[in-house]
A and B are shown apart, each in its own frame.
Chain A
Amino acid sequence: MSALKRFWGSPLGHGSIAAALLIAAIGHWGTSSYLAYMVLLVCIYGIAALGLNVPAGMLGQLSLGQGAAFGLGAYAAAVLAMDYGHSVIVCLALATLIGGVLGVIMAAPSARLGVMALAIVSLGFTLVMQQLIILFRSITGGADGRYGLTAPLLQGQVKMSPDQLGALIVLVLLMCYCAHWYFRSSTVGRTLIAIRDNEIGAASLGIGTYAWIVFAYAIGSAIGALAGACYAFLNVSVNPDSFGTPLSVLFLLMVIAGGAGTQFGPLVGSIVVGLIPILLSAHPNIQPFLYGAFLILTVRLMPRGIIRRSAAPVYGYFRGNRSREAATGLSPAVRDATAPVLEVKGLERHFAGITAIKDISFSLAKGEVVAIIGPNGSGKTTVLNTICGIYPPHGGSVVLNGRRLDGLSLAKIASAGIGRTFQVPRLFQGLSVKETLVLAQQRAHGGFAKTNVDTIFGFLAQIGLQEQHFQREVRELPHGQLRMLEIALAALRGADILLLDECAAGLSAHEMDLMLVLLRKLAKTGTSIIIVEHHLDLVRAIADKVYVMNIGRMLWSGKPEALEESAEVRAAYLGEI
């Protein structure tokens, strides 16, 4: 790629050009002009929207608290500058920090409770903030607010002029834009989108949810407070009327209409939404109607927003790991029947009084492939779900390499070395194939010692996903590729044990052959596999041992060849009335 293209493609590149143009334009119009004020306001809103994009766009939470963070930042800046004489830089930095603390306070009690709870809590925060502003009127100036907010850029200098302030705001926007860009292109950004698009799929890669939600809210509120502090300096004043729930809704609109979770979306949204008051400055009363209508229309007609491509580029990491296996020269693991890697004893689980599984016991050796078969409703998926931690068992134990797993969460069990695929592939619509693969690699268990990355990439190429297709978003992939990709992810993570739930469902004969080759290779390098399957040919081709389930219990176990001869299996599975 030519240097010019690279420059233009990087956020610092095109961003600094845009920033320079903006500063020039503001200087030309004059900072006291209405137009310059509106543009700077849009810049400030853009900063807040970029911040909100983290919890609301990337993580998909409906945070109604950005107005509170904005207000908190504004008041913090006002108090720090006027009562403590701090410089602008210090005020901005401290306001950001305070905003981050607010985010943690908002999210910590409510992060485990789901979207609705977080929405209500964040809404409540905005109301509480307004009340607190009135209550602590000696500091905040109460309903009248405070005026005359000016400060020097750095300690000891002369107070900032409006021109300098305007330039500073644009630079802060540039800085946030670049940080946001790289944030989204980093592991953190990918992780948040994964949690948003499929929480359970993310957990099966070892990604827990709680800490990330709190983190995302902290970042979002911190940047929101930063924007609020800029706003306070721009207006030379603060008062409670400017911060409230309508502002929170406005910021949410910018993120959602622009394109939630995307790199350009929040700015596009803030420009589009910000244009409304500029174009309709003669009719200030109509604006809220437009915001409300815009919000309704967006979620009904354009739910993904203006910028529809949600996937982001990946920088650097990808090339790093491919030769690791070749370098270590690993030999295939020897199957050791005397030291089971997984032991399941007396597993039991019921739902609403109905026993789904009972007395399930078996063990798994290193590199062994075991199949669980049985009619629909016999409890096969429940066995997998209970082992990997989607729900805890009501009885019995699961031991992996001597360590008890029962009762742990899916994310913890996945991190301990168990990979899982699902009946309906749990992948992340908004990521590209490349981002998904990198995410799995970065969540790998114990390094890549067992998995040959080249094998997996070769496998993906054979099902039509060559490297040049990696920038496709996962939502565009056909069913067969989704299935294969899910298995590839589990393999890339280097899990000790793979739990595959009907991985062959919906695959063509050719795709099934490829799957077989991959699974055999994985087993040879020491991965143990449990497959739940209906395709008996696949079972015969790969399983060392077969367990047959019926109505929640294990009916029979033995070698696949002996399957057809067993009378009980015929009766239960093929079903003779």
Chain B
Amino acid sequence: MLANVLTDLVLPGLVAGCIYALVATGFNVLDISTRTVSFAYGDYIMWAPMAALIAHTHLHWPAALCILVGVAAAGGVALLVEYVAVRPFIDKPREFVWILSTLGASVILQRSAFLPFNGEQRAFPISLPIGFFRLGVFSFSYQDLLVIAAAIVVAIGLYVVYRRTHLGRVLVAVGEDPDGARALGISPEKMSQVSALLASVVAAITGLVVAPFFLVSPHLGFQLLFIGFAAATFGGLGSIRGGYIGGFVVGFLIQATGVYGSSEWTYVVVFGTLLVLYSVRPWGIYGVPPARAV
């Protein structure tokens, strides 16, 4: 019985948790530096495997090159959206206009993904060979391990960047006080670009590692968006740590719903949990209640 829980719930839940932790992390990276979140972020994630798929299917490029194309696509898309839809509003994050502009960008990004394959869902061909790694009761496929490794690598990488590099501290500073940063000669606009690029790296890793589990379609980003939001909110928006914890909570919830109920209830369950969270502790585990300035 315990072995069943392990193989049905805990281990797959762990993998799912890593996936959603990665999605939440992208939001947190953007929030840390700009106090905004791109509603098009899911589409950055989607465009990495989509671009790789285009290179693979239409151009027949080797796998490694396709991966690079995917990374470049995520970066290009993120920078474009940052320039058009985010940067004009970084001085007024509390007016939330950027929600609308990034939504508009999301609509455009999703629609352009219909063009290469007429909107069909495709399997993602670039993945690790099928095989399992077994250790006693633990059994992971190679792709599972890649997901877990990716989550660990991203966590360590961001820790190093934010805590140990000069750039990381600047990225935190501009999010806390853009005017104060300007008065010192630090450009919040430039840092907004850098954070978009950083988030796009996380997005590319997420998309390419996760694509073999889902079908690649224009809707992929959107499917991940809401759950990623829920995970980030759970942990407290702006906290990398919180994003990981939130991701795991959500991952286990979704897995449990699939195993003990039906996966058709996923959104309902996640949404219900979010409503409960909002009633109890709206700013999440590591978030701080907003201070009021009069």
Contact = CB atoms under 8 A, between A and B. Distances in A.
Q: Is the pairing of A and B real?
A: yes
Interface of A: 62, 64, 109-110, 112-117, 119-121, 123-125, 127-128, 130-132, 134-135, 200, 245-246, 249, 252-253, 256, 285, 288-289, 291-296, 298-300, 303, 351, 381, 385, 390-391, 422
A390 B294 CA distance: 8
Contact of B294 (A121, A298, A422): A422
Given A110-B278, A117-B278, A121-B274, A295 B104 contact: yes
Contacts of A115: 96, 99
A292 B96 CA distance: 17
23 contacts: A64-B103, A109-B278, A114-B290, A115-B96, A117-B233, A117-B282, A120-B274, A121-B275, A121-B278, A123-B226, A124-B267, A124-B274, A127-B271, A131-B266, A135-B264, A249-B104, A289-B108, A289-B112, A291-B107, A292-B107, A294-B104, A299-B101, A351-B291
Nearest to A248: B103
Contacts of B275: 109-110, 121
Contact of A385 (B101, B110, B294): B294
Contacts of B85: 296
B4 interface: no
Interface of B: 37, 84-85, 88, 96-97, 99-101, 103-108, 110-112, 114-115, 222, 226, 229-230, 233, 264-268, 270-271, 274-275, 278-279, 282, 290-292, 294
B107 A249 contact: yes
Nearest to A303: B97
Contact of A390 (B84, B103, B271, B292): B292
Contacts of B103: 64, 249, 252, 295
Contacts of B112: 289
Contact of A296 (B37, B104, B110, B271): B104
Contact of A292 (B111, B114, B226, B265): B111
A124 B271 contact: yes
Q: Interface on chain A toward B: helix, strand, loop, or mixed SS?
A: helix
A125 B226 CA distance: 10
Given A117-B282, A128-B271, A134-B264, A296 B292 contact: no
B264 A292 contact: no
Contacts, number: 114
Given A295-B100, A295-B101, A127 B294 contact: no
A169 B282 CA distance: 41
B105 A296 contact: yes
B117 to A, nearest CB: 13
A291 B105 CA distance: 10
Contact of A62 (B84, B99, B108, B233): B99
Contact of B267 (A120, A131, A391): A131
Nearest to B225: A123
Contact of B222 (A64, A245, A253): A245
A249 B105 CA distance: 11
A381 B264 CA distance: 54
Contacts of B101: 295-296, 299-300
A323 to B, nearest CB: 37
B293 to A, nearest CB: 10
Contacts of A295: 100-101, 103-104, 107
B264 A131 contact: yes
B116 to A, nearest CB: 13
Contacts of B84: 296
A249 B100 CA distance: 8
A206 to B, nearest CB: 17
A292 B105 contact: yes
Nearest to A384: B294
A245 B278 CA distance: 22
B104 A291 contact: yes
Contacts of A252: 100, 103
Contacts of A299: 97, 100-101, 104
Given A120-B229, A131-B264, A300-B101, A288 B111 contact: yes
A114 to B, nearest CB: 8
A130 B219 CA distance: 14
Contact of A124 (B226, B292, B294): B226
Contacts of B233: 117, 120
Contacts of A291: 104, 107
Contacts of A110: 275, 278
Contacts of B37: 116
Given A119-B99, A296-B105, A300-B101, A285 B294 contact: no
Given A62-B99, A135-B268, 12 more contacts: A109-B278, A110-B275, A115-B99, A249-B107, A252-B100, A253-B104, A256-B100, A289-B107, A289-B112, A299-B101, A381-B294, A390-B292
A131 B294 contact: no
Minimum-distance CB pairs A-B, first 10: A295-B104, A292-B108, A292-B107, A288-B111, A296-B104, A292-B104, A124-B271, A115-B96, A131-B267, A127-B267
A390 B111 CA distance: 46
Among the interface residues B106, B108, B222, B279, which one has the most CB atoms of the partner chain A within 10 A? B108
Contacts of B266: 131
B265 A135 contact: yes
Nearest to A391: B292
A354 B99 CA distance: 35
A484 B203 CA distance: 53
